[in-house]
């Protein structure tokens, strides 16, 4: 059975119980894990995410009164209703900002015409919320596909536009200053592949990532420390990077090389210089990791080097960018002690999840070590999965 099928069945059941009819279609979009390349996307740098086999599915049908109604299986299952013509950034509040924002963005882009008469949407998701696994991007991308599908505008909404407009909705409507990483990963994900993305050009190069063939697995460790990019230190980090780029006379920190770090230390305050050092060295780590993948499976020396890059990424995020937290550091250290080849926080930080690259035979002992260090953690294995798509 396809991993999406039971989620789709649950979404159909929710739709029928709430709205009293059958949905006209179902659409799905995945969460993501970023293997390496954190806080580089809004600096126009390099990232290496993969969509994961955790999905948000929306069951949807058209309305005729210009209203948008949304409901989720999470929480109290209360239906939120808004007038499409009255959508404005910041309203409604809460999780419904995301689907409402996508509808607003699609209307502004002309994908949803003035004669689009509304929709009923019912969401079911297996992407953990607040875990740094892009639950918001999964919600946005599934909504975008559903609304375009109901409007008969599938051919007008390219995959790139789906990602771009979903990010725009999160930035401009929900007031979350995220970069494009999450939406690109959710929209473009491929089975069995990671995506090497240049976030300046939006060039996307898929690379095979068959961990099972190399005797490996990727553990996702949800610390259960919830985060909110809009309220955490994320906006401050982004502002610091933009300030540094302006001071150093470049369009974005992506334009700096390791040779520029000495100048950054001279011309910037100590904290801002460390932020710059993280971004510059993280871009370099992404490119080195991709080079390892192009050479073949992660075995032997390549595996050792890949693990070291992941762990170095975490150290940089912890010490230079200061977006980790005690719980993330604890689980990363516990995974490494138990034999993980590499481990790092993934996502924006200030809570959320870590990942650990482990040999299949060591997965149980690594999990036990992590749970002994942080009993509240939830651990699951992730594989590269298909991006946003219509289910039926």
pLDDT tens sequence across 182-212: 999 999 999 999 999 999 999 999 999 999 9
The 8 Å CB, 24+ separation contacts for 366-369 are: 366/219, 366/335, 366/338, 366/339, 366/340, 367/219, 368/338, 369/334, 369/335, 369/337, 369/338
194 and 220, same domain (yes or no) = no
Residue 229 has pLDDT above 60, yes or no: no
Other beta carbons within 10 Å of 114: 10
How far is it, in rounded angstroms, from Cα 387 to Cα 29? 6
Diameter of the chain by CA atoms?
A: 66
Stretch 54-58: mean pLDDT:
98
Q: Are residues 218 and 196 in the same domain?
A: no
- pLDDT digits 0-9 by tens, 133-189: 999 999 999 999 999 999 999 999 999 999 999 999 999 999 999 999 999 999 999
Using one digit for the tens of pLDDT, what is the confidence trace for 115-129?
Answer: 899 999 999 999 999
Same-domain check for residues 196 and 218: no
pLDDT band at 281 (very low <50, low <70, confident <90, very high): very high
**Whole-angstrom distance, CA of residue 164 vs CA of residue 144:** 11
* Same domain membership, residue 142 and residue 66: yes
Which range marks the domain in which residue 360 is found? 209-382
Instruction: Say if residue 18's pLDDT is above 60.
Output: yes
Q: Kindly report the backbone phi and psi dihedral angles of residue 223, in degrees, each rounded to the nearest multiple of 5, phi listed first.
A: -75, -15
pLDDT at 77: 86
Instruction: Give the whole-angstrom CA distance, residue 89 versus residue 86.
Output: 10
115 and 172 both lie in a single domain: yes
Cα–Cα distance for residue pair 112/147, rounded to 1 Å: 8
Under a CB-based contact definition with an 8 Å cutoff, are residues 219 and 363 in contact?
Answer: yes
Instruction: Return the SS3 of 344.
Output: strand
Q: Does 93 have pLDDT greater than 90? A: no
Question: Which pLDDT does position 231 carry in this prediction?
Answer: 56
Is the Cβ–Cβ distance between 69 and 120 less than 8 Å?
yes
In CATH, what number is assigned to the domain containing residue 324?
Answer: 3.30.70.890
CATH code of the domain containing 122: 3.30.230.10
**Residue 114 — very low, low, confident or very high, per pLDDT cuts 50/70/90?**
confident
Q: Is 189 found in the same domain as 128?
A: yes
182 catalytic, yes or no?
A: yes
Cis? peptide before 92, omega within 30° of 0 = yes
Predicted pLDDT of residue 230: 47
What digits encode the pLDDT tens for the residues 237-254? 999 999 999 999 999 999
Please give the model's pTM, rounded to 2 decimal places: 0.96
Angle at 306 between CA 300 and CA 311, to 5 degrees: 130
Residues 131 and 241 in one domain: no
Residues 33, 169, single domain; the answer is yes
Is residue 233 domain-shared with residue 189, that is, in the same domain?
Answer: no
Looking at the fold, whether 273 and 164 belong to one and the same domain comes out as no
267 shares its domain with 364: yes
Same domain, 128 and 266: no
As a whole number, mean pLDDT of residues 220-237 equals 81
H-type alpha helices, the chain:
4-19, 97-108, 135-150, 159-168, 181-188, 234-248, 261-267, 270-295, 300-319, 326-337, 363-373
Of residues 161, 182, 222, 333, which has the active-site annotation? 182
Domains: count for the chain:
2
Please give the structure tokens belonging to residue 175.
């007031």
Reported as a single tens digit per residue, the pLDDT across 301-345 is: 999 999 999 999 999 999 999 999 999 999 999 999 999 999 999
């Amino acid at each position: 059975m396809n991993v999406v099928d039971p989620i789709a069945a649950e979404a159909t059941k929710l739709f029928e119980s709430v709205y009293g009819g059958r949905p006209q279609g179902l659409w799905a979009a995945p969460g993501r894990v970023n293997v390496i390349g954190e806080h580089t996307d809004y600096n126009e740098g390099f990232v290496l995410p993969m969509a994961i086999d955790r999905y948000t599915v929306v069951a949807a049908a058209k309305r005729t009164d210009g209203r948008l109604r949304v409901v989720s299986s999470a929480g109290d299952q209360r239906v939120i209703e808004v007038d499409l013509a009255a959508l404005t950034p910041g309203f409604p509040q809460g999780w419904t900002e995301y689907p409402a924002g996508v509808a607003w963005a699609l209307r502004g882009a002309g994908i949803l015409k003035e004669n689009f008469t509304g929709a009923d949407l019912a969401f079911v998701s297996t992407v953990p919320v607040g875990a740094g696994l892009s639950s918001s991007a999964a919600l946005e991308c599934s909504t975008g596909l559903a609304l375009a599908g109901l409007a008969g505008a599938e051919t007008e909404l390219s995959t790139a536009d789906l990602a771009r407009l979903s990010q725009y909705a999160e930035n401009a409507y929900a007031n979350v200053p995220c970069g494009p990483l999450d939406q690109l990963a959710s929209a473009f994900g491929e089975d069995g592949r990671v995506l090497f993305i240049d976030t300046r050009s939006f060039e996307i190069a898929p690379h095979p990532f068959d961990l099972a063939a190399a005797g490996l697995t990727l553990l996702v460790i949800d610390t259960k420390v919830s985060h909110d990019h809009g309220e955490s230190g994320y906006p401050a980090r982004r502002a610091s990077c933009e300030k540094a780029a302006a001071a150093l006379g470049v369009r974005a920190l992506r334009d700096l090389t390791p040779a520029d770090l000495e100048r950054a230390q001279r011309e910037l305050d100590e904290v801002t210089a460390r932020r710059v050092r993280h971004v510059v060295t993280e871009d370099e780590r992404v490119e080195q990791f991709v080079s390892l993948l192009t050479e073949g499976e992660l075995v032997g020396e390549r595996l050792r080097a890949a693990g070291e890059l992941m762990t170095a990424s975490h150290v940089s995020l912890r010490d230079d960018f200061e977006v980790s937290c005690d719980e993330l550091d604890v689980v990363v250290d516990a995974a490494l002690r138990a034999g993980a080849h590499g481990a790092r926080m993934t996502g924006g930080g200030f809570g959320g999840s870590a990942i650990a690259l482990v040999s299949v035979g060591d997965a149980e002992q690594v999990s036990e070590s992590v749970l002994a260090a942080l009993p509240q953690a939830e651990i699951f294995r992730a594989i590269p999965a298909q991006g946003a798509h219509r289910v039926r």
